[in-house]
Chain A
Amino acid sequence: MSFRLYRERVDTLKEAVLGRFRHRKSYDDFWALRNVSFDVRPGESVGLIGHNGSGKSTLLKIAAGVLKPTEGRARVDGRISPMIELAAGFDPDLTGRDNIFLNGALMGHSRKEMAGKLDRIIEFSELGEFIDQPVKNYSSGMYARLGFAIAADVDPEILIIDEVLAVGDERFQAKCMERIRSIRQGGCTIFYVSHSMNQVVELCDRVIVLHHGQLAFDGAPEPAIARYRELQHFQPPPATQARMA
């Protein structure tokens, strides 16, 4: 996937017309992802790790269909959740309840289907009476709760889960992990993007490491994490390791 990084944005007619005469390339090509090839079998649960800017989101955007690859191709068999983030489809001015329907529709589910899931989603999110408040008044934890509750209930065949679990409180995180485990047992393919190595180890059978847009490692979780840290020249301080273990 290549992006054009414009030195000066050419978004006016004048620039577009004059640019034609000047024959000057006004952008640099930047490859956010290149030579990244892999297959995922149905039911696999794949972790995606890498430094900030390594191309994780770009990869998810291509998988979900938000971006078309510049070269190469991405083939997805099965219903993939089209959102690259759990709360991506929220409209801040609408209430939690309205957003459940909006998100459902963005994922291609009918109003009727969503009405059937409504009570379960509200219950799982534990938002109670706040469900009828505009979501702009929600805390980031509440946002994440609703986002996860919706995504977990629309049963896609391929599920994308991002960093959302980081903002929920401990108890809710545990509840989400429980839910993800049961979704996984149901045969759903999962893409899990996280900077929390513990959760990656816990949830994934396989981990892909991206480093500056290249595929650096593809295999079992422990060696993947070791490779990721080696590439970053980083070892977590022992105190953190002890506390998290």
Chain B
Amino acid sequence: MTALVRPFGELWKFRELISLLVTRDLKVRYKRSVLGMGWTLLNPLLQMVVYTLVFKTIMRVDVPQFPVFLLAGLLPWTLISASLTGAAHCLLNNQGLIRKVAVPQMVYPLAVVASKLVDLVLSLVPLAIIAALLGRPPGLSWLGLAPSLVLVTLFSSGLALLFSSLTVFYRDMRHLIDILIQVWFYVTPVIYPASYLEKLPYPALRWILSANPATPIVRCFQASLYEGRLPGASLLGLAALATVVVLGFGVLVFTSREAQHIHHF
């Protein structure tokens, strides 16, 4: 247990470093772009338009107010997937610092997640507006966002720690992650409701897909933001379980290999 807790005490000392790394990321990302932060808001909206056109208009997925449903699941999914892609490069990109400055290396993947979390929180604004326009104005159920955000952030952190470390040892991971994300996206109920999975006629497949740890986390968001109800105890429990497992595994792998990273850059 101490192996899991000790790194976090160290990290607390470097919380300001994480926030500076996040500001650095945002500054560098938006420098010399005309729209700046606007891209953060525009990106999910453009995706929303495309997915709505394809899945609602062309493929006729039967979900009322599809854009609201889609965004509710797409925003947490984007945090998960962007954390994964960003983490794959973060230790390699920061090797200049890692070779010369002794700080807990966890700060680098965690800064990636934090910076994507900023994007997610900002994107909640256009989501609220669209939800209000389509007749599902934000209400009390949005309080469910608080635990959901904590869970999705910790879950993404676990993945980021795991894959940032693995990428240092095996550069193939970068390609593998791209494929993993695509497959994972389609088996996670973001563009279709979770009930579609429960009604699948193949029990084996249903069973495999029910083990997808991203599903309960995305569902927490859909409950709060789309269905207008607080995520239930069993749903939150499942999401928390998935988070604890992924985070614990990520922390263990990362801390046990941290000292070796420098030899593999």
A interface, CB within 8 angstroms of B: 3-4, 11-14, 16, 61, 64-68, 82-85, 88-89, 91, 93-94, 98, 101-102, 105-106, 108, 110-111
Contacts and interface: CB of A to CB of B under 8 A. Distances in A.
A105 B20 contact: yes
B262 interface: yes
A13 B172 contact: yes
Interface of B is mostly: helix
A61 B99 CA distance: 8
Given A11-B169, A11-B170, A108-B13, A91 B24 contact: yes
Given A13-B172, A101-B20, A110-B16, A93 B100 contact: no
A146 B66 CA distance: 54
Contacts of A98: 23-24, 27
A111 B16 CA distance: 7
Most chain B CB atoms below 10 A, which of A4, A65, A106 = A106
B37 interface: no
A102 B28 CA distance: 14
Interface in B87-112: 96-103
Given A66-B98, A91-B24, A94-B28, 8 more contacts: A14-B172, A66-B102, A68-B259, A84-B101, A89-B97, A89-B101, A105-B17, A108-B17
Contact of A66 (B28, B100, B171, B172): B100
Q: How large is the interface on B (under 10, 10 to 19, 20 to 34, 35 or more residues)?
A: 20 to 34
Contacts of A89: 97, 100-101
B28 A3 contact: no
B55 interface: no
Interface of B: 13-14, 16-17, 20, 23-24, 27-28, 31, 96-103, 169-172, 259, 262-264
B85 to A, nearest CB: 18
Contacts of B100: 61, 66, 83-85, 88-89
Given A66-B102, A89-B97, A89-B100, A102 B170 contact: no
Contacts of A110: 16
Given A66-B100, A89-B100, A94-B27, A16 B170 contact: yes
Contacts of A64: 101-102
Contacts of B16: 105, 110-111
Nearest to A68: B259
A12 B263 contact: no
Contacts of B172: 12-14
Contacts of B24: 91, 93-94, 98, 102
A59 B5 CA distance: 30
Nearest to B259: A68
A83 B17 contact: no
A85 B20 CA distance: 20
A33 to B, nearest CB: 15
Contacts of B17: 102, 105-106, 108
Contacts of B171: 11-12
Nearest to B96: A88
Nearest to B28: A93
A40 B13 CA distance: 27
B103 A82 contact: yes
Contacts of A91: 24
B263 A4 contact: yes
A65 B99 CA distance: 10
Contact of A106 (B99, B101, B170, B262): B101
B224 to A, nearest CB: 33
Given A11-B170, A13-B172, A98-B24, A88 B101 contact: yes
Contacts of B263: 3-4
A83 B20 contact: no
A11 B174 CA distance: 12
14 contacts: A61-B100, A64-B101, A64-B102, A66-B100, A67-B259, A67-B262, A88-B96, A89-B100, A93-B24, A93-B28, A98-B23, A102-B24, A105-B17, A106-B97
A3 B103 CA distance: 21
